[in-house]
Amino acid sequence: MAIYTRRSTDDEHQPFSIEAQTARLDAYVASQPGWEIAERFTDDATGSTLDRPGLQRALLAAKAGRYDTLLVYRLDRLTRRIRDLAYLMEELEKIDVHFRSATEPFDTSSAAGRMLVQMLGVFAEFEREVLIDRTRNGMERKAARGKWTGGTVPYGYQLDRERDAPAPDLAEAPIVSQIFTSYARDRIGTRTIADKLNQRGIRTRFGKPWSGVTVGNMLSNQVYVGDKVFGDITTPDAHPAIVSRELFAEVQQILAVRGEVGSKRRASNTDYDLTGLITCPDCGQKYIGTSARGRSRIYRYYTCFSRVRYGRHGCNGPRLPADELDDAVLTSLLEVYADSEIISKAIAAERRLRSQRHRHSEEELASVMIEI
116 SS3 class: helix
User: Is residue 182 classed exposed, middle or buried when 0-12, 13-18 and 19+ CB atoms within 10 A define those classes?
Assistant: buried
Mind telling me the catalytic residues?
Answer: 8
Exposure letters 343-356 (e unless 16+ CB within 10 A, then b): eeeeeeeeeeeeee
Q: What is the DSSP letter of 47?
A: T
Query: 264 versus 194: which is more confidently predicted?
Result: 194
Q: CA Rg, the chain, in Å?
A: 31
Q: Confidence band (pLDDT; 50, 70, 90) for 268?
A: very low
Q: Taking the complete model, does pTM exceed 0.85, yes or no? A: no
Pinpoint the residues of the chain covered by CATH 3.40.50.1390.
Answer: 2-141
CA torsion, ordered 142, 143, 147, 150, to nearest 10 deg: 90
Query: 280 versus 131: which is more confidently predicted?
Result: 280
Residue 268's Cα: distance from chain center in Å?
24
Residue 211's Cα: distance from chain center in Å?
14
Q: Determine the residue type at 201.
A: G
Does domain 157-259 sit in CATH 3.90.1750.20? yes
Question: How many angstroms separate the CA atoms of 258 and 280, rounded?
Answer: 16
pLDDT digits (tens, 9 = 90+) for 144-201: 777 887 778 899 999 888 888 899 999 999 999 999 999 988 888 888 898 899 999 9
Q: Reply yes or no on whether the pLDDT at 8 is more than 80.
A: no
Pinpoint the residues of the chain covered by CATH 3.90.1750.20.
Answer: 157-259
pLDDT digits (tens, 9 = 90+) for 215-229: 988 998 999 999 888
Quick one: angle between helices 212-219 and 173-184, nearest 10? 90
> 361, 341, 279, 287: which is closest to 319 by C-alpha?
287
Q: Determine the residue type at 328.
A: A
Query: 256 versus 226: which is more confidently predicted?
Result: 226
Q: What is the CATH number of domain 2-141?
A: 3.40.50.1390
The percent of residues above 70 in pLDDT, for the chain, comes to: 84
pLDDT at 229: 84
Exposure letters 213-234 (e unless 16+ CB within 10 A, then b): ebbbebbebbbbbbbbebeeee
